[in-house]
Amino acid sequence: MDYTVSMFLNTLTPKFYVALTGTSSLISGLILIFEWWYFRKYGTSFIEQVSVSHLRPLLGGVDNNSSNNSNSSNGDSDSNRQSVSECKVWRNPLNLFRGAEYNRYTWVTGREPLTYYDMNLSAQDHQTFFTCDSDHLRPADAIMQKAWRERNPQARISAAHEALEINEIRSRVEVPLIASSTIWEIKLLPKCATAYILLAEEEATTIAEAEKLFKQALKAGDGCYRRSQQLQHHGSQYEAQHRRDTNVLVYIKRRLAMCARRLGRTREAVKMMRDLMKEFPLLSMFNIHENLLEALLELQAYADVQAVLAKYDDISLPKSATICYTAALLKARAVSDKFSPEAASRRGLSTAEMNAVEAIHRAVEFNPHVPKYLLEMKSLILPPEHILKRGDSEAIAYAFFHLAHWKRVEGALNLLHCTWEGTFRMIPYPLEKGHLFYPYPICTETADRELLPSFHEVSVYPKKELPFFILFTAGLCSFTAMLALLTHQFPELMGVFAKAMIDIFCSAEFRDWNCKSIFMRVEDELEIPPAPQSQHFQN
């Protein structure tokens, strides 16, 4: 056996070792590139994920936790509920208009600012808010019920026009005033408000066009709302219609207020938002107060902003980046114009400065992605239609509209730049324990990658260390590449080393070998003459 192995090794040429090491380096390099791409896209190692999901069950590694499930289920229920609520995707209260803003961006840049996942969530929202079970009784509403499910934008727009045309044809219906009589009445049917909404959102190419369509939608939606309000107590069907008509009316008025804000009529927009919040105080799902805060900041009405925060920045209410960072901006405004980091390091922070720094730390703990956009360390993109609270998508949506307000307050960005990184010293392990909020949710990166377009580099917090397999493949690629280079430059020497190492592992007496025997064999194979000895050693 040893003779056969030695004969085989003697027949191998240096070219074989060059090809072997080169191929190994190429394969490990391809694995490294794929692992790095997979890690940048999904945030985990492909080899590690496959080994955990497929190999661990084969090795029986899933039965260790079964005995602890009954004991830990009750203790973890609260944390699980909190994790689910924090990973919930919310409708962006400041979302843009598809036709007038998102589509114009696509026409100019050729990039799609919205992902399929984001638009699919919007379609689900539209079906929830704008449809009910009795839509099949009215042809226009039945058409719109199908239109909200359409994936093709042109098909949705065509369906909206069809709904308006059908409604126009059937708008004059002859009804007998008296049974078996020839006296007839002409009755006008209401317009389809949801059709106008779809056209204003997706077909209008400017904000002014969208506003005109929303005003037509308001006229139709207000009539439907008043009729269903009178009939809401006549049964569950009428109650569902009234709930749908209420959602439609609130949506139209909110979007009209946003049109006024876009067109520079900020005071009119503030009045419309205040009236809407007074008329429908229980509909907090639309988060109209965030639109109001942004408009008040544009007017620099900081006292009114503080009054709104006093109502909504409550411990019992859900937080958002708009709430936390607006509160930090107001406190920073009181000290930012005179703040100097050198002076603060000498004399210490005053009470007002300490309050401002604590407010910034609170905001950064809630959403650590925002400061990089406010400080313009990362480029902004158009905000998505849905956001994940405490995630990168919420940070983009906030900074897109509020960066100008921070720049308007003198020294506010300087104070933020000097203090925001101190938050991370208070929470060194954000995934395990928080300071003022719950631990940072783990699911934000995955959801943000679904919500944000592929050309945007998603901000990840906390920064993940490189997986072991990426480091391993990088080391393997470098080692094999070095061997290939040495074998190409010194083929005979590397061939002798390779034969010597293989002989060591193949021989039954490899334990008795040492480094001296290896180098002796190298000298014998290369026929290196022995060094001449001095006269002293000869004697």
- What is residue 432's predicted lDDT score, i.e. its pLDDT? 66
Nearest CA to 430 out of 388, 369, 481 is that of 369
Q: CA of 405: how far to CAs of 322, 330, 394, 442, in Å?
A: 12, 11, 17, 31
- What is residue 69's predicted lDDT score, i.e. its pLDDT? 43
pLDDT in tens, 28-42: 778 778 877 777 666
Q: Which residue has the tokens 């036709």?
A: 99
- What is residue 178's predicted lDDT score, i.e. its pLDDT? 42
Nearest CA to 380 out of 409, 411, 416, 404 is that of 404
Report the C-alpha dihedral over residues 317, 319, 323, 324, rounded to 10 degrees: 130
Nearest CA to 295 out of 276, 325, 274 is that of 274
Contact 363, 258 (CB under 8 A): no
- What is residue 251's predicted lDDT score, i.e. its pLDDT? 93
How far apart are the C-alpha atoms of 193 and 203, rounded to whole Å? 15
Dig out the tokens for 409 from the structure.
Answer: 């307050």
- Could you write out the three-class secondary structure of 192-216? CHHHHHHHHHHHCCCHHHHHHHHHH
In the three-class reduction of DSSP (H, G, I as helix; E, B as strand; rest coil), residue 386 is classed as strand
Chain CA centroid to CA 221, Å: 34
- What is residue 140's predicted lDDT score, i.e. its pLDDT? 85
Q: Would you give the DSSP letter of residue 114?
A: S
Complete DSSP assignment for 388-420:
ETTSHHHHHHHHHHHHHHHHHSTTHHHHHHHHG
- What is residue 538's predicted lDDT score, i.e. its pLDDT? 43
Contact 336, 353 (CB under 8 A): no
Contact 434, 363 (CB under 8 A): no
- What is residue 438's predicted lDDT score, i.e. its pLDDT? 82
Contact 221, 168 (CB under 8 A): no
How far apart are the C-alpha atoms of 539 and 532, rounded to whole Å? 14
Q: Prior bond to 428 cis, omega within 30?
A: no
- What is residue 539's predicted lDDT score, i.e. its pLDDT? 37
Dig out the tokens for 371 from the structure.
Answer: 């400061």
- What is residue 502's predicted lDDT score, i.e. its pLDDT? 67
Residue type, 473: T
pLDDT in tens, 145-169: 899 988 899 999 999 999 888 765 5
Contact 457, 395 (CB under 8 A): no
Contact 287, 320 (CB under 8 A): yes
Q: What DSSP element (H or E) covers 513?
A: none
How far apart are the C-alpha atoms of 280 and 270, rounded to whole Å? 15
- What is residue 292's predicted lDDT score, i.e. its pLDDT? 94
Domain ranges in the chain? 12-53, 94-171+188-286, 301-463, 466-502
Q: Would you give the DSSP letter of residue 176?
A: E
Dig out the tokens for 509 from the structure.
Answer: 């007496």
Strand partners, 242: none
Number of other residues whose CB lies within 10 A of the CB of residue 231? 13
Q: Which residue has the tokens 């229920």?
A: 77
- What is residue 14's predicted lDDT score, i.e. its pLDDT? 67
Report yes or no on whether pTM surpasses 0.85: no
- Helices 351-366 and 412-419 pack at an angle, to 10 degrees, of 70
CB within 8 Å of 300: residues ≥ 6 apart:
408
Burial label, 219 (beta-carbon count in 10 A; 0-12, 13-18, 19+): middle
Complete DSSP assignment for 210-258:
HHHHHHHHHHHHHHHHHHHHHHGGG-HHHHHHHHHHHHHHHHHHHHHHH
Nearest CA to 440 out of 357, 369, 356 is that of 369
Ramachandran assignment for 390, one of left (phi > 0), alpha (psi -120 to 50 degrees), beta (any other): left
pLDDT in tens, 196-223: 999 999 999 999 999 999 999 999 888 8
Please list the ranges in the chain whose pLDDT falls under 50: 61-85, 171-188, 508-510, 513, 534-539
- What is residue 53's predicted lDDT score, i.e. its pLDDT? 67
Contact 200, 255 (CB under 8 A): yes
Contact 198, 130 (CB under 8 A): no
